[in-house]
Structure formats: structure tokens, C-alpha cells
Amino acid sequence: MYAERIHCFFIFELMKFTAEQIASMLEGKVEGNPSAEVSALAKIEEGFTGALSFLSNPKYEAFIYKTESTACIVNNTFTPTSPLPKTLTLIKVEDAYSCFAKLLEMYNSMTKETPRIENPSFIDETAKVGSNLFLGAFSYIARDTVVGDDVAIHPNVNVGTNVRIGDGTIIYPGATIYRDCVIGKNCIIHAGAVIGADGFGFAPDKNGKFQQIPQIGNVVLEDNVDVGANTTIDRATMGSTIIRTGAKIDNLVQIGHNVEIGSDTAMAAQVGVAGSCKIGNNVMVGGQVGFAGHLNIGNKVMVAAQSGVAGSVKDGSVLMGTPAFDSKEYKKSYLGFRRLPRILSRIQAIEDKIKALTKD
């Protein structure tokens, strides 16, 4: 999804920036009025006077010729094919998308909570917390836990015994971090996420009754990991469930015990990863994909939405379908599947002709 779809909001309350100032921040150049002032960000199709928009996806180019935004960030390669509004100033940069993201990050840094400890909240006397902590009301930090510097723990968060939380991490309301888990630096854990609940470990006894297998491991999130709202990451039976540096996990994802997810891998919503599955680096996973347990998924694999992955996968594979297989072969097979009614009708017609020819 492109940032053109982000609803407008103020960059800094009651502050204005000129096009020239913004161009300087983004190492870009101005085409138009360098003194044009902006104080808000807006979708290009919903621009208004004083707004700054951006254009990187050609799909939205038509809007730049009628936008009411005061300024627009575009790629250096952008060349208008129609007259631009006379009131519009362009800020040309190397990569409009990344530059707009940089502005969003600047805005986001200004919205961080002021360090403080709200009441009621609880920090065990054996816990160690760093400087500049924000601890929201009704949050709980259990014994022997260590919290780094510049951490924000929002209201109603429960941090269990012997947890480690790295510098700069943000934990949003209602999240739960179970005992012994390790959260790296600059991670983001969104509302309602559960890190370190028991893995789904049960074994039937001789009478067919399920007996729980104790889950004594933990979960390790390395640095710069994002975990979406209401996502659950189960603790290992033994050892660790590991989410490597830079991985991005969307909302409503279930990650089973002893799973390992590689660096800079991204998973969309409602993905399910069964226990002991190993997923490589830079893997892209669409929504509602299911992975069977004990698989090895290579690096730079891409899996289309709603696929079911039942076997291990080599590096660089692109998969679709259930069970998932090569996307090119899947598309060919799907075309054949769509033709089945017509093929069956033709077969029936041929059978009818054969019967008519062979009739006594």
C-alpha cells in the first residue's frame, strides 16, 4: 500500500516549513516557489492549501494535475505530461517514496510519549529500568526484568519475570511479554500481541487423553523487529523461538514453538507458521499463508496469499496454491482448471456423437 493513501495530518502543530527547507532536508531541489509554506501532509488526491503530498506510483499521476496541495515530492525522473496547477511547487528527489517515509518518521519521532511513570503501575524492586522510561498506567514489570534506555511501555502491558527489553523499544497497550523472553533494540510490539505463551505441545497418553508437554524455552526478538497487533509468538519447548533482525510481522499472525524467522523477512496478516519451521532471510509471505511444521524455507522465497506450504522450499522460489508449488506452473494449471467446464462439455458432445454413430 502506498503512502498516498495515508490520511492527512499535521507534521508539527502550528509549525510551517518552506519547500526550500524540506528540499534541504531531503537533499532535493525545488521547481516552483521555494518560499511556498506547508504545515500538513496529505494524500495527493485530497490535497489542500498548505499540504505536502508525494507521488511515486504512476497509478496516481493523474491526481497531480488537479491536486490542491501546495507542494509535492516527486522523483527526479518525473516529467509532467499535462500542465500542473499554478499553485503547485515540486520537490524533486532521488526516491520520492523513501523521502516521504523519512518525513513520516520525523513526524512519528515528535509524537513519542514524554518519559514518565504513570500511576497506578508496578515495577518490582528487583527489576532494572533504564533512563527515559515511559511506563503507562496499569502496566506491570515483574521481578528480575531488565529494561533498556528510551523504552516506551504503554498502558495495560504485562512484562513477565526475567524479561530483557532493549533500548528504544516500544510496546503498545495490552501486549503481554511472558517470562524469560528477550526483546531487542528498537523493536515495536503492537497492541494485544502475546510474546512467549506456551507452544501447542500435547501428547496423548495410553488412554487417548492429551497430556501437556511443559514449554520451558523462550522467545527471542532480535533488533528492529516489528510485531503486529494481536499476533502471537509461542515460546519454544526447549531453546528459543527466534525472530531475526529486521523481520516484520503483520497483525493476527500465529508463530508456533521453536520456529525461526530470518532477517528482513515480512509476513502479512493471518499467516500461520507451525512448530519448528525454519524460514530464511528476505522471505516475502502474503496474507493467510499456512506453513506446515518442521519445514526449511530458503532465502528470498516469495509465497502468494492463501497458499499452503507443505514441503521444504529452495532459495529464491516463488510459490502459489494449496499445496503450494511454482507460481508459473500454478498459473498454467489454473488456466486449465478454468477451462474444465468447457472441456467437459466438448467431451460430452463427442461421446454423444460416438453413441449416435454406433447406434444400431
- Residues annotated as catalytic are 257
The letter for the amino acid at 78 is F
Please classify residue 41 by burial: count the beta carbons closer than 10 Å to its beta carbon, then call 0-12 exposed, 13-18 middle and 19+ buried. Answer: buried
Does residue 149 sit in helix, strand or coil? coil
Instruction: Please give the DSSP secondary-structure letter assigned to residue 8.
Output: P
User: What separation in angstroms does the CA of 347 have from each of 30, 332, 354?
Assistant: 67, 21, 11
Does residue 107 sit in helix, strand or coil? helix
Q: CB-based contacts of 12: which residues, under 8 Å, 6+ apart?
A: 39, 107, 110
The residue assigned the cell 531541489 is 29
The C-alpha cell that represents 31 in the structure block: 521547481
Distance of CA 22 to the CA centre of its chain: 28
